[in-house]
Amino acid sequence: MIKRQKTGKIITYLFALLLAIFVCFPLIVMISMSLKAPDEQFTYPPHLIPQHPTLNNYFQVFGQGSMFAKYFSNSLLVASVSTLIVLGVAIFSSYGYARMNFPGKNFLFILLLLSQLFPLAAIIVPLYRIMGNLKLIDTYLSLIISYLAFSVPVGVWLLRSFFLGVPQELEEAALIDGCTRFQAFWKIVIPLVRPGMGATAAYVFFLTWQEFMFALTFINSESKRTLPVGIFDFVGQYETNWGNLMAASILVCIPVFVIFFFIQKQLVAGLTEGAVKG
Amino acid sequence: MHNKKEWASGYLFILPSLILLIILVFYPLFMTFIYSFYDMSLVSNRYLGWEAYQKLFQNPKLYLIFKNSLTWTILVVFFQCLLGLGSALILQQTFVGNAFLRGLVILPWVMPGVIAGMAWRLIYDPHLGLLNHYLQILGIVDRPLTWLSSPNMALYAVIFTAIWKGFPFSTIMYLAGLQGVPSELYEAAEIDGANEVKQFFHITIPSMKPIITVTLLLTFIWTFNYFELVYVMTGGGPAESSHIFPTYIYDLAFKRFRFGDASRFAVVDFLFLLIFSLFYVRTTFKSEENL
């Protein structure tokens, strides 16, 4: 019996190791390439462990003539403003869908979910025309507005599941104590879903931080580009500078990895709740 | 009276998101439907009516894109489900480093799609890539393969990347699902002498059915509409062999400026997903009622 348990343990560790390798291999390749000097980047056969590791690629990414810092601040601006707007809209709407009664509620909520059914490529032509008519092409605003198209539904859906997790009795007690409906919502419920709001904000930030297609289409001038398009542009017409590209990629990943590290538990709770409760 | 007031405040709460949804999603979608009846490009804007769709269904490209999209989606969803379940079962065991591995596993899903695409382009590269190098060491291939520039391999190479990129979402969902299986069921099965394999198929899977159903639907829709990986890794090439709906729609619209064609492909994409989802939801609900 003990022997069986021991082999079971060994098998568990073996599979855990395989899983770790599968997940990490591309990350290790990225880190490895980002630490290689130009002459080593192109040696054949390639080696996983850099022979003469250097941080030069990272310095070059921030160095003179590099647009990385500009792209980074553009992305930060677009993603933060989008997230704030989504949160402001979603707080009310998700509470409405979670707690209030009105005719057509289910229908409207299904409409919200339906909006997740088509590719963004399906609405990009009309959106492009709208932006063109409003003279918004090549502005940050065009990105912020178009990001609302996919992030508002997600934000409402996710935040709703956090509201559903708050016991209804709390609001009822507040109403009996003479609070208005709005006061109960604002003073009792909102503070309770603050962690959920954090998770929702982080998720929306993460979606807008990496958005690629709209950014590729609506922005023409180099100085207004966001990170994903800027990174894609590293693949030059001549020779791709893989060292710089991977160093930049790692720098882009770090903020999202850090955010996810902190909100993982909340987000998982919201995603699973939201998915199962519709 | 009281009711009416509650209704009004309910509408007031959801109004901002509803307005945004109408302006930014449903109005553009409606316009796409309208455009799809036109021969629309930079130089022409002619109404075709249903003729436009007759032409579309005679276009062999439609069937190629449809076949690619289905291959892409079914393989990615199937293997994400399998890997998700497998990794959730591993992570549910107790072992040293479990918490660390849980944090690690989520990273591919969190990584921006463009970056994942670039990293895998490097891995697949015939000269710089480590994949060919290792396969040669292991003696599986005798010369470097051009994974992303061979018409019969490119789509499958991107599929592999997509599985890697997306499976952690399934892992997260299934891990949460596993924690919801009542432990008394396992205890009872243990007493009845059911082995672990039997327990898995007779207790674990049935208890997790709701979460598996939802996860499959979500990953199906997301994968079907996933743009970045194919666009970044192959651009739909070589010779348009790896295009799926979103990349082809984008190509038609913004590389060839054939807005009418792009809209027709978009309409087919949307209607397919709509019908598929309705059908899926109906059949899964029906089978649950029969239980």
Which residue from A22, A213, A260 is facing B110, i.e. has the nearest CB?
A: A260
Rg of chain B in Å (alpha carbons): 24
Q: If pLDDT is split at 50, 70 and 90, which confidence band does B291 have?
A: very low
Q: Which domain, by its residues, includes B227?
A: 51-93+101-290
Residue B204 DSSP symbol: I
Query: Tens digit of pLDDT for each residue in A170-180?
Result: 888 888 888 88
Chain A partners within 8 Å of B103 (Cβ) = 261, 264
Q: Is residue B16 part of a domain?
A: no
For residue B94, give Cα distances in angstroms to A38, B102, B129, B170, B200: 44, 12, 36, 20, 18
Cβ distance of A100 and B250 shorter than 8 Å:
no
Q: Is residue B214 part of a domain?
A: yes
Q: What does residue B47 show for φ and ψ, rounded to 5 degrees?
A: -80, 130
Query: Tens digit of pLDDT for each residue in B86-116?
Result: 999 999 988 999 989 998 999 999 999 999 9
Average pLDDT for residues B157-175, to the nearest whole number? 95
Query: Tens digit of pLDDT for each residue in A64-102?
Result: 778 889 999 999 999 999 999 999 999 999 999 998 889
Average pLDDT, chain B: 90
The domain that holds B68 is classified in CATH as 1.10.3720.10
A14 touches B: beta carbon within 8 Å: no
Q: Is residue B238 part of a domain?
A: yes
Chain B partners within 8 Å of A256 (Cβ) = 110-112
Which residue from A95, A249, A275 is facing B118, i.e. has the nearest CB?
A: A249
Tokens of B254: 């913004």
Q: Is residue B13 part of a domain?
A: no
Q: Is residue B106 part of a domain?
A: yes
Please give the CATH number for the structural domain made up of A65-276. Answer: 1.10.3720.10
> Tell me, what's the pLDDT at B64?
95
Which residue from B29, B113, B119 is facing A123, i.e. has the nearest CB?
A: B29
Residue at B269: amino acid letter = D
Number of domains in chain B: 1
Average pLDDT for residues A4-28, to the nearest whole number? 91
